[in-house]
Copies of this chain bind each other. A is one copy, B any other.
C-alpha cells in the first residue's frame, strides 16, 4: 500500500536492525485517515470471504481493526492482555511470548463472542515473530471457528512470523512488507528486488 509505505519512509524511525518505531501514526499517535485507508484495503482483500467477526489484540490493533469492521459491517473483538474485573466470563486463553520484553503474557477472549460458525479475520499492527498472531489463531481454533486470513499492517519479512503462519496454511495479507532495517534504513520487499 503506497500511502502506508510513504508514511513509514517519512515518519518511521529505525532504532536497530530489528526495531522500527511508528509511534507517530500507529502505535501511540494514530492517523485516523490512514487507518480508514488501511481498513478499506483489508475489507477489499477479504471482501469475498464472508467474514463475520474481526479479531485483534489491544492496543495498536484496535484502530485498523475497527476501520476494517466498519467497512465489512461486522463486529470487532479485541483480545485482552490482562484479565480485568469486568471480564469475568468464561474465557478462551492463549499465551504470547514477547521477544522484546522476554516474557510470556496471557491473552483472553470471552467465549460468548466467538462461535463455531464464525468466519474470523485476524488483524494486527505488526508481524515479527508471529507470536501474537499465533495466540489469536489458537483462540479462534479453541472456538472451533474458521480463520479466513490474517491482515497485517506492517510485516517485518526478515523475521520468521510470516513463515510460521503460512506453515499453518493461513493466508497472510500484509500492507507493507519490510525486507530490511539495516543501515538505519527501511527497505520494502518490493523495492529490494531492484537492489
Contacts of A24 in B (CB 8 A): 112-113
- With beta carbons under 8 angstroms apart, the residue of B15, B27, B75 that contacts A30 is B75
Give 1 or 0 for each of A30-46: 1 = CB within 8 Å of chain B CB: 11110110000000000
CA A101 to CA B77, docked complex, whole Å: 23
Query: Is A96 on the interface with B (CB-CB < 8 A)?
Result: no
Q: Which of A5-47 contact B (CB under 8 A)?
A: 15, 19, 21, 23-25, 27-33, 35-36
A153 to chain B: closest CB distance in Å?
14
Q: How far is the CA of A87 from the CA of B19 in the complex (A)?
A: 12
Q: Would you call A58 an interface residue if the criterion is a C-beta within 8 Å of the partner chain's C-beta atoms?
A: yes
Within the assembled complex, what's the spacing in Å between the Cα atoms of A70 and B74? Answer: 19
Among A92-117, those with CB < 8 Å from B are 100-101, 109-110, 112-113
Q: Nearest-CB distance from A112 to chain B (Å)?
A: 8
- B80 near A35: Cβ-Cβ < 8 Å: no
Nearest CB of B to A128, in Å:
12
Q: A29-B75, A29-B113, A36-B70 are in contact. List 14 more A-B contacts (CB 8 A).
A: A19-B85, A23-B87, A23-B89, A30-B62, A32-B74, A32-B75, A32-B76, A58-B59, A59-B78, A59-B80, A62-B62, A63-B76, A66-B66, A85-B101
